[in-house]
Amino acid sequence: MSTMPTLPRHLDHAEFVNRARARLTLLYGQRDEEVLERLLALVAHQGSALLARRPDSPRPLWSERDQWLITYGDGLLDGDRPPLEALANFLDNRLPGTFSGVHILPFFPWSSDDGFAVIDYREVEPSLGDWSHIRQLAERGDLAFDLVLNHVSRESLWFVDYLSNSPPGRDFFIEMDPATDLSAVVRPRNSPLLVPVATRRGTRHLWATFSDDQIDLDFANPDVLLEFIDILLFYLQQGARIIRLDAIAYLWKQIGTSCVHLPQTHEVVRLMRTVVDYLAPGTLLLTETNVPHLENISYFGLEHLSGPDDAPDEAHLVYQFPLPPLLLHTLTSGEAGTLATWLASLPELPPGCSYLNFTASHDGIGVRPLEGRLPTHEIEALTELMHRFGGFVSMRANPGGEDTPYEINITWFDAMKGTRRGADPWQVERFLCSQNLMMALQGIPALYLHSLTASLSDHEGVERSGRLRSLNRRRWQREELDELLDSRNTPTREVFMALKRRLAVRRNEPCFHPDAPQRVITSPPELLVLERGPLPNGRRLLAIHNVTDRRQPLALPELDARCWYDLLERATVKRIDSLAPYRSLWLVSEDQ
């Protein structure tokens, strides 16, 4: 028995029109009816096939069986086989039934940033495969597509239009006088904000939040918004169930503000939510905002709920960005109190909202979520330790002009190499403890391919690309990976098989339903103890983790005289006096 399922919202046409009008009024004022008319025409043209596919009995938004893999489309290379086909083959042969969904990082033609400088949003990068490969993957489970809507590549046709002063692209970008005071703008990078561009009209300076090859788009122009609604609908037609809104926090620009999390940005997310709730209910919107926690969860739109019967109308899911750096601090310091305090402070979410939990992704380990949670000297100690383990630190520019750490670049397996005392023999155990803890948390777990394969930091990749993030973006040769997985004594095999077993356990345990209650149980700082449940049938689970390299005594009132069953070891536990270094327990009472 699981917790009560959360069903998707189904909007009828009249409700859709009213909600869309409200969003467009806040975005475009007196132009709202004009833009609404164009939106309705777009929906009628593009959405008819989606409406025809709307199920009469919608499936729940998520369950305990939801767990995702994150990978690049060419994360695995297998001779002349298209990489997307190689990925499908790997999932079928090595991970059948393990993952409910796959987030394939941008698989479109691109010019830089490993896919996040998109040239053409409606094409598959030919070196990866084609749309038939994407649709075949969608038949195996849920697919997450990136909607890279903040910026576009300089090699896109829109930018070519801009250079030649031709529609539509000539009006898609943000020109700015370089003398404008932009000191209040919050940046995720330390590169120049304005990029000089030679055009037929002379040199112009364009807004570029992330790099000089990723030129920001102007959503104050409704043509841009409608173009991306059209792209969104196209992705849904190709099999996407999850839409990841990349770098969404920086979408709307307004001089004199921070240009991050502006009200208009939230309205764009709400409009997209309105569209998918009408045309494809059950589609999940996931916002990517690597910022402090309260800013991050603002994309649920909870502050707009006026009563207990109100339903959230913004993102379904947000990344649990504070988790990776806090977990890194916990396992390198041997102190779980900071992490426990944060977990205990998390608000109870309404139905239809949940977290995507992860420890590693294609990006680095964000440092900003530590702001206000760890003192500066602790953050400095953490970044210095990661340097010692072979990592790097990317910087960002602050409004005052000072650069500060933005993210740590390292593979998660290398980050687990030791503690503040240095490297030690506990790397695999420490790594698995981190994954056990992440998978036990309320929400949906997502594992990056390079966590699954215990990948080491790719320093040669950094030398080739000149980008620090390449440390964690290795492309595996299938033959090499198979050899490591089939060998008896490799960390790759040990980690891969252990995680596969844990994921099989997790997806069959109803206490891990994303909506099942979560409670942090008071314990010594060397332990992190969680309760999941109780469920309506009374079932509950205790997840206990030793975050140190020393055996720790267990004296928890929750561990009464009853017999417990450890899901991880698949064994009855009658007496638990202590816990080995980095050992985890997933305990359910035998009378349940």
CA distance readout (Å), 467 to 232, 291, 471 = 30, 22, 8
363 is in an annotated binding site: yes
Active-site residue, 213 included: no
Answer yes or no: is 218 a known binding residue: no
Of 509, 503, 544, the C-alpha closest to 524 is 544
Question: Is 293 assigned to a binding site?
Answer: no
Q: Is 223 annotated as a binding residue?
A: no
- Enter the tokens of residue 479: 């033959």
At 565, is the secondary structure helix, strand, or coil?
Answer: strand
φ, ψ of residue 46 to 5 degrees: the values are: -90, -25
Contact by Cβ (8 Å): 131, 137: no
Nearest one of 186, 198, 193 to 208, comparing CA atoms: 193
Determine the Cα–Cα distance for residues 498 and 515; give it in Å rounded to an integer: 26
Strands 354-357 and 317-319: parallel
Residue 362 in marked binding region: yes
SS3 per residue for 461-525: HHHHHCCHHHHHCCCEEHHHHHHHHHCCCCHHHHHHHHHHHHHHHHCCCHHHCCCCCEEEECCCC
Rounded to whole angstroms, how far apart are CA atoms 175 and 197?
Answer: 10
211, 194 Cβ separation under 8 angstroms: no
Residue 542, beta-bridge partner list: 531, 587
Confirm whether residue 377 is marked as ligand binding: no
- Indicate which residue of 78, 246, 313, 414 is catalytic: 246
Q: Is 133 annotated as a binding residue?
A: no
What is the Cα gyration radius of the chain?
24
Residue numbers belonging to the annotated binding site for substrate: 113, 151, 244-246, 362-363, 469
| Residues taking part in catalysis | 246
